A and B are shown apart, each in its own frame.
Chain A
Amino acid sequence: ETGVTQSPTHLIKTRGQQVTLRCSSQSGHNTVSWYQQALGQGPQFIFQYYREEENGRGNFPPRFSGLQFPNYSSELNVNALELDDSALYLCASSLRTGRVAGYTFGSGTRLTVV
């Protein structure tokens, strides 16, 4: 059983550019959530996708968008990058949605915006 895989592991982008981060969910999982972890903070919820539809969104601007594909892998897109977008982006998959669902996390993509 494979875990959650994220790519790339590290990325450096210039302010104003666009970035796409990718996540392959654990086999059998149909739900993917994305989190942003800034330095010194806990992960902050960006959004969740369940069966290719957005199933909840945190307090992030519209320039943060996502997709989930039929194989349940997912992308996080960020447009018009700002310096404050520099963070670790975590993807987590689960078998179902809900407040007691167990989540399997990837090891993250470290994004640096210069």
Chain B
Amino acid sequence: ILNVEQSPQSLHVQEGDSTNFTCSFPSSNFYALHWYRWETAKSPEALFVMTLNGDEKKKGRISATLNTKEGYSYLYIKGSQPEDSATYLCAFPGSYNQGGKLIFGQGTELSVKP
């Protein structure tokens, strides 16, 4: 059974702090890793799809790195703002014969206080 773990479960930071959190996934048969940002009462929003070991992707103040050999990805937020408050989900695709199944972690809930 594939397991995707995220840590920490929740994080409270002050505006201006930089923060990071972790997604751990099975390192064997890696294909891709997805990151989503989900604000309360809105739709999950795709941030990144990462496929290459050592890959680093950036979107504004948010960036992500990938280590497929050891099975983890970090998401960094530089200079957190209150509007960054959301749940950040990572997802690992199922095997090729499982359709487009994504296996999600339980998420990291980020709260940024002004």
Contacts and interface: CB of A to CB of B under 8 A. Distances in A.
Interface of A: 3-4, 31, 33, 35, 40-45, 47-48, 50, 54-58, 90, 92, 94, 97-108
B43 to A, nearest CB: 4
Interface residues of B, number: 29
A56 B44 contact: no
Interface in B91-114: 91, 93-94, 96-107
B31 A100 contact: yes
A41 B100 contact: no
Given A45-B101, A48-B101, A99 B42 contact: no
Contacts of B94: 45, 56, 99
Given A42-B89, A99-B93, A100-B49, A4 B43 contact: yes
